[in-house]
């Protein structure tokens, strides 16, 4: 009984030393570890992680049985493990950092420093581009002409644009029609629209890594999903087989847009979100200023 009481007292004393900052510290580490497992569990990285875990068990066993050479080898391996992990898991680490930068907090507050607020002329140019793209997509939908149009947002896509032909021209239904005409040299790639202008066409987009996407989706839709996974871009896709108009955003695909719903959605994503981001940033500092005055 005394042993149980002593053990219970020890547990209580340990809990008494825990402060709020310790709970927050543990919670943050738990969330980070859980997020890492969520990130890699459906990728090849999970197999590599299993291999590292097996080597760790082998290291413990070699220590127990005093296997000097094996222990020395594994110790040297684990000393360089951090660098090896960064090299091996580079795609997953990059993806995690990109997702962190594209989350709600990053887009709402930190994004204000990265992206400039659009002027009235830029906003009008973007509105014209939205209407031109929507009109073109509607025409393509009827004629079942495939198209892949990327609206650039905070994530700059200059590296993707370098795989195509830089145009830097104003949008128009006629120009977009010529670009995606099935015998035109640029029709197979994607067209990138930056600040309401056609920045580049014939661009090669990365394909999605998601193994759970619909097997009926073609390369054009997989490229749209891949681009939306690696950036915050809004991608409009017109199916060559069905004429369906879709939007890829944040790794998800929504379909069956009409001209009106496409215009409304694009304006919400490309114009109103920018205004909301600015308003949220300003209101945050106004509240901060009032709190400081108090």
Q: What is the pLDDT of residue 76?
A: 85
Q: What is the pLDDT of residue 282?
A: 39
Q: How far is CA 106 from CA 60, 211, 267, in A?
A: 42, 27, 21
Q: What is the pLDDT of residue 11?
A: 61
What gap in Å lies between CA 136 and CA 219, rounded to an integer? 21
What gap in Å lies between CA 186 and CA 192, rounded to an integer? 12
The CATH code for residues 119-280 is 3.40.1700.10
CB atoms under 10 Å from CB of 92, counted, come to 19
- Encode the chain in three state secondary structure: CHHHHHHHHHHHHHHHHCCHHHHHHHHHHHHHHHHHHHHHCCCCHHHHHHHHHHHHHHHHHHHHCCCHHHHHHHHHHHHCHHHHHHHHCHHHHHHHHHHHHCCHHHHHHHHHHHCCCCCHHHHHHHHHHHHHHHHHHHHHHHHCCCEEEEECCCCCCHHHHCCCEEEEEECCHHHHHHHCCCCCCCCCCEEEEECCEEEEEEECCCCCCCCCCCCCCCHHHHHHHHHHHHCCCEEEEECCCCCCEEEEECCEEECCCCHHHHHHHHHHHHHHHHHHHHHHHHHHHHHHHHHHHC
What gap in Å lies between CA 236 and CA 239, rounded to an integer? 10
Q: What is the pLDDT of residue 293?
A: 46
Q: What is the pLDDT of residue 261?
A: 96
Q: What is the pLDDT of residue 233?
A: 94
Q: What is the pLDDT of residue 165?
A: 94
Domain boundaries, the chain: 2-113, 119-280
Phi, psi of 115 (to 5 degrees): -105, 140
pLDDT tens sequence for the chain (294 residues): 566 676 666 666 666 677 777 788 888 888 877 776 766 665 556 667 778 788 889 888 988 888 888 888 888 888 887 787 777 767 666 666 666 665 554 554 455 444 556 678 889 999 999 999 999 999 999 999 999 999 999 888 998 999 999 999 999 999 999 999 988 888 889 999 999 999 999 999 999 978 788 888 899 999 999 999 888 899 999 999 999 999 999 889 999 999 999 999 999 999 876 555 544 433 433 443 444 444
Q: What is the pLDDT of residue 81?
A: 75
């Amino acid at each position: 009984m005394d042993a149980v009481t002593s053990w219970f007292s020890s547990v209580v004393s340990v809990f008494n030393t825990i402060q709020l900052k310790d709970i927050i510290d543990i919670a943050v580490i738990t969330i980070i570890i859980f997020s890492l497992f969520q990130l890699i569990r459906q990728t090849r990285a999970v197999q590599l992680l299993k291999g590292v875990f097996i080597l760790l068990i082998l290291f413990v066993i070699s220590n127990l049985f005093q296997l000097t050479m094996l222990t020395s080898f594994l110790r040297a391996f684990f000393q360089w493990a951090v660098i090896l992990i960064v090299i091996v898991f580079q795609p997953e680490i990059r993806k995690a950092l990109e997702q962190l930068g594209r989350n709600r907090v990053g887009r709402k507050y930190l994004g204000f420093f990265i992206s400039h607020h659009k002027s009235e002329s830029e906003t009008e140019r973007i509105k014209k581009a939205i209407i031109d793209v929507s009109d073109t997509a509607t025409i393509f939908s009827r004629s079942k002409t495939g198209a892949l149009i990327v609206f650039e947002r905070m994530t700059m896509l200059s590296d993707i644009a370098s795989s195509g032909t830089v145009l830097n021209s104003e949008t128009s239904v006629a120009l977009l029609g010529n670009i995606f005409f099935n015998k035109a040299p640029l029709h197979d790639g994607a067209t990138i629209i930056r600040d309401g202008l056609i920045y580049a066409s014939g661009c090669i987009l990365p394909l999605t890594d998601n193994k759970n996407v619909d097997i009926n989706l073609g390369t054009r839709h997989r490229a749209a999903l891949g681009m939306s996974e690696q950036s915050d871009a809004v991608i409009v896709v017109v199916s060559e087989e069905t004429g369906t108009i879709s939007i890829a955003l944040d790794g998800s695909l929504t379909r069956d847009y009409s001209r009106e719903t496409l215009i409304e959605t694009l304006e919400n994503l490309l114009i109103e979100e920018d205004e909301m981001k600015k308003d949220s940033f300003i209101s945050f500092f106004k509240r901060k200023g009032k709190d400081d005055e108090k």
